[in-house]
């Protein structure tokens, strides 16, 4: 459960990036960046899937950053189909880690939902290519990685892909095609749609179990 929330404005290529930081109970042991679904379809940092992932991260002791993409809330700029959003998220990572270096020594979660998974995949690939510190956990719900792919992306073998069986926005077959090529496993929640209505507790439990396993690994 979050101890408190605070709004922070970082600066990206198009101007202000409006973020919320969720602080956990107790001293944070690491941090998380969780990215939201398509702004053109009403996606914001307050989406229930995004806040469910953030809640699980907070319960694991991570301080979580939830940005609004361009044109959402107080974030400046306009929707850029994942290109500018990717650049902005690199700026968020740089500015957050400069402001709170003590938290970056612990575990780092990179999470996303739908459109946010495409942006996050670009972020991970960039960090790998530039030999920068990469996330210890990558958790994507309702992946839409290839729909907004600006360039070829790579994800680590520990990536957790979670998909709803009856998703009618991003069909399960689309994620399976991606996962087959990327050689990544997929966890399918039976009966769940794209927004995981009625299944958010299951989603939170899956995220929590992965983070618990990460904690045990890093001890």
pLDDT in tens, 57-95: 999 999 999 999 999 999 999 999 999 999 999 999 999
Q: Where are the alpha helices (DSSP H) in the chain?
A: 48-59, 83-99, 115-129, 172-182, 200-218
Whether residue 165 is contained in a domain is answered as yes
Read off the pLDDT band of 5 (50, 70, 90). very high
- For the domain that residue 79 is a member of, what is the CATH number? 3.40.50.1820
Distance of CA 50 to the CA centre of its chain: 8
Look at strands 62-67 and 15-24 and give their pairing: antiparallel
CA distances from 26 to 2, 21, 62 (A): 10, 15, 10
The total domain count for the chain is 1
pLDDT of 214 reads 81
Shortest CA distance to 84 belongs to which of 122, 43, 117, 46? 122
Whether residue 139 is contained in a domain is answered as yes
Segment 27-54, tens digit of pLDDT: 999 999 999 999 999 999 999 999 999 9
Read off the pLDDT band of 215 (50, 70, 90). confident
Whether residue 105 is contained in a domain is answered as yes
Give residue 157's domain range: 2-214
CA 79 – CA 84 distance, rounded (Å): 8
Shortest CA distance to 92 belongs to which of 12, 196, 184? 12
Indicate the DSSP class of residue 74.
T
CA angle in degrees (0–180, nearest 5) for 18-112-101: 60
Whether residue 186 is contained in a domain is answered as yes
**For residue 1, is pLDDT > 80?**
no
Whether residue 219 is contained in a domain is answered as no
Phi and psi torsions of 206, nearest 5°: -65, -45
Whether residue 10 is contained in a domain is answered as yes
């Amino acid at each position: 459960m979050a101890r408190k929330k605070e709004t922070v404005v970082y600066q990206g290529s198009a101007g202000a990036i409006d973020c919320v930081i969720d602080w956990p109970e107790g001293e944070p042991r690491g941090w998380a960046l969780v990215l939201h679904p398509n702004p053109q379809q009403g996606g914001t940092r307050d989406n229930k899937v995004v806040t469910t992932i953030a809640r699980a991260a907070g319960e694991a002791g991570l301080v979580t950053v939830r940005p609004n993409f361009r044109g959402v809330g107080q974030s400046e700029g306009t929707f850029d189909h994942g290109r500018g959003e990717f650049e902005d998220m690199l700026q968020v990572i740089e500015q957050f880690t400069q402001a709170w270096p003590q938290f970056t020594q612990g575990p780092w979660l990179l999470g996303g939902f739908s459109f946010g998974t495409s942006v996050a995949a670009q972020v991970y690939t960039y960090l790998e290519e530039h030999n920068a510190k990469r996330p210890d956990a990558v958790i994507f719900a309702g992946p839409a990685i290839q729909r907004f792919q600006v360039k070829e992306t790579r994800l680590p073998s520990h990536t957790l892909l979670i998909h709803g069986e009856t998703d009618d926005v991003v069909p399960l077959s689309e994620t399976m095609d991606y996962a087959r090529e990327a050689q990544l496993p997929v966890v399918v929640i039976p009966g769940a749609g794209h927004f995981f209505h009625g299944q958010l507790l299951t989603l939170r439990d899956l995220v929590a179990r992965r983070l618990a396993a990460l904690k045990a690994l890093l001890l």
